[in-house]
Amino acid sequence: MVVTSKKLVHAVFWLALTLVTIGGIYLVLQAEFLFLIQILVYAGAVPVLFLFGIMLTRRKIMEEVTPGEVLETPAEAPREGLP
Amino acid sequence: MSGALVSPDLFTLCKVLLTGIMKIQSDAILAGAPVGSPVEPLRGIAYFLMEDWFLTFNAWMIAITIMVTWAAAIQLLTMMWIERKFYSRLQDRYGIMISIWSLPFWPFSWWAKRRNKPTHRGLGYLQNVADGVKLLQKENITPANADSAMFHTAPVLIASSTVMIFAALPFSEGFVIANMPMSLLFILAAFSIAPLGILIAGWASNNKYSLIGGMRAAAQLMAYEIPLLLAVVALLMYAGSLNVLEIVRKQETLLAMVGPIPIPAWNVFSIPQFIGFTVFLVAIMAEMERIPFDIPEAEAELVEGWLTEYSGMRFGLVFGFKWLRALAGSALVVILYLGGWSGPVFVTLTPSVGPTVIPIPIIPHEVWFLLKVYLLFLLFVWVSWSVPRVRIDQILNIGWKRLIPLALLAILLAAYFAALGPALGGIR
């Protein structure tokens, strides 16, 4: 689902879920410490960084275009993210 | 210091009670359906009720329900009441006042009329219940053009990760659902799933201000997880175990006697842990998104920040789970640094005539724990409502540039003291 979904934000969410289930595999293999560290790092930080990267780039790169959007020059494009 | 009685495990207690109840029912069915009567197949039910897996499963369900639904929810109500009453007294007004005298049905209305009590001048404890009911009545609006799947999944993420914390958070030595060998790491991992949910909530609302609030929240929460974990590492060098019960057990010994008052060996009283304590305190205030670290939901700037577009019970869910995270955070500080649930449970009387000392239980472990959590939370509320809000770049400045060096200093000192421990004569 990570590579086949049309909306990029959904792809990041599925990536988070995939990483959590890999942690689940660690749990089944009785490596609980690895499972906890995987949740801490991968479910807590890596998808957040991905989403930062997605949201701080230009809107034309992302698949979602709201109807009625007038495409401006990159200098005037609305910048989303931390002011 | 305490504990002549051994408090049973929560699960064991539930299982024992459940076995007793099921045995009574089973015996009643067996007596009422003797062999050879037309209702004989009912005996199968009696045998089923006493099966071990059935009893274990139900005992776990009851234990989890007690912890999550009763203990956590009632603490939630109490903490909301503490906050609202305390900050309104700080602002020189009475605060919330709906209590049982406002309930419009018998017997409360009868008692209120009989004692001539006005309805809206009570203690205020039920106000939060009333607010919850009000939120249930409101319409659940999904904004147009919002990413509907993400919009509905985000509160689920936040809520489920917060509830997971309470599976491993002990209220006392027996009052814990799951005593796993690395429960501290589990609690911290469950804490760190929430920024993902907050970011998704901010994004999926299709609202510039929510998005800004969500990104600020994610940046802030992720920035402050690092000093949190580093302070815990400094603590681990002393405690030596990631199990929360072990950490509290190490704090139950006596450190020194100041006059007649015994001082317990709480972790906050040692020098490197004190630095770790301040780092952890500031970091947990930022993780709870309290003022002064309130920018993600700053009312004057971003309406409600990342939860602007949530209405009705969805808002209630997210709002309530912010409070539950506050409860979990304060409980974590109390367990790690302030001695958890240790406190004198028994007051011993030595009768002049008679053989032994008589222990009289005054305050059980759970009540000590809750008292400490409430006092710490009061401190948080006091600080929150007295200082102005910090700007987002200042928040990240504090997180990355000031707290991390302090936490590293704490680790250095803790390692130093741990290596030289016996040579320094017991200074930890």
Q: Among candidates B307, B317, B312, B309, which has minimal Cα distance to B136?
A: B312
Per-residue confidence (pLDDT) for residue A65, from 0 to 100 = 46
CA angle B179, B65, A17 (to 5 degrees): 70
Q: Is residue B204 part of a domain?
A: yes
A46 in Cβ contact with A19 (< 8 Å):
yes
Type of residue found at A76: E
Q: Is residue B295 part of a domain?
A: yes
- What tokens appear for B213 in the block? 């609030």
Averaged confidence pLDDT in chain B = 81
Q: Which residue has the tokens 């064991």?
A: B12
B298: distance to nearest CA of chain A, Å?
Answer: 15
Do the strands B254-258 and B261-264 form a parallel or antiparallel pair, or are they unpaired? antiparallel
For the stretch B311-325, pLDDT in tens is: 778 888 888 888 888
Chain-chain contact of A16 with B186 (C-beta, under 8 angstroms): no
Residue B83 CB: number of other CB atoms within 10 A?
22
Chain-chain contact of B215 with A52 (C-beta, under 8 angstroms): yes
Q: Is residue B4 part of a domain?
A: no
Backbone angles phi, psi at A70, to 5 degrees: -95, 125
For the stretch B249-259, pLDDT in tens is: 888 777 766 66
Per-residue confidence (pLDDT) for residue B48, from 0 to 100 = 83
B81 in Cβ contact with B125 (< 8 Å):
yes
Per-residue confidence (pLDDT) for residue B7, from 0 to 100 = 55
Contact partners, residue B419, CB within 8 Å, separation at least 6: none
Q: Is residue B347 part of a domain?
A: yes
Q: Is residue B50 part of a domain?
A: no
- What tokens appear for B191 in the block? 């804490």
Mean pLDDT by 10 residues, chain B (428 residues): 51 86 87 77 81 87 83 85 88 80 74 72 80 85 78 86 87 79 90 86 79 83 90 86 86 71 74 85 86 67 68 81 88 88 72 68 81 91 86 87 92 85 55
Chain A hits for B223, CB-CB cut-off 8 Å, are none
Residue B331 belongs to what domain range?
76-95+138-424
B352 SS3 class: coil
Q: Among candidates B403, B410, B343, which has minimal Cα distance to B375?
A: B343
Chain B hits for A21, CB-CB cut-off 8 Å, are none
Q: Is residue B5 part of a domain?
A: no
Backbone angles phi, psi at B347, to 5 degrees: -105, 120
Q: Which residue has the tokens 């053009």?
A: B145
Mean of pLDDT values over A54-81: 58
Per-residue confidence (pLDDT) for residue A25, from 0 to 100 = 93
For A7, which DSSP code? Answer: S
Stretch 28-67 of chain A: residues touching chain B, C-beta under 8 Å: 32-33, 36-37, 39-40, 43-45, 47-48, 51-52, 55, 66
Instruction: Give the nearest partner residue to A48 out of B145, B186, B222, using CB atoms.
Output: B222
Distance CA A14, CA B410 (A): 38
B276 in Cβ contact with B410 (< 8 Å):
yes
Distance CA B268, CA B43 (A): 59
Chain-chain contact of B147 with A9 (C-beta, under 8 angstroms): yes
Is A6 within 8 Å of chain B by CB? no
Residue B394 CB: number of other CB atoms within 10 A?
13
Q: Is residue B106 part of a domain?
A: no
Distance CA B28, CA B7 (A): 31
Q: Is B269 left (phi over 0), alpha (psi -120 to 50) or beta?
A: alpha
Chain B hits for A23, CB-CB cut-off 8 Å, are none
Q: How many CB pairs under 8 A join A and B?
A: 78
- The total domain count for chain B is 1
Distance CA B274, CA B336 (A): 11
Cβ burial of B408 (10 Å; 0-12, 13-18, 19+) is middle
Chain-chain contact of B392 with A82 (C-beta, under 8 angstroms): yes
For B67, which DSSP code? Answer: I
B208: distance to nearest CA of chain A, Å?
Answer: 8
Per-residue confidence (pLDDT) for residue B3, from 0 to 100 = 38
For the stretch B12-23, pLDDT in tens is: 888 888 888 888
Q: Is residue B51 part of a domain?
A: no
Residue A3 has pLDDT above 50, yes or no: yes
Q: What is the 3-state secondary structure (H, E, C) of A35-77?
A: HHHHHHHHHCCHHHHHHHHHHCCCHHHCCCCCCCCCCCCCCCC
Chain-chain contact of A9 with B203 (C-beta, under 8 angstroms): yes
Contact partners, residue B113, CB within 8 Å, separation at least 6: none
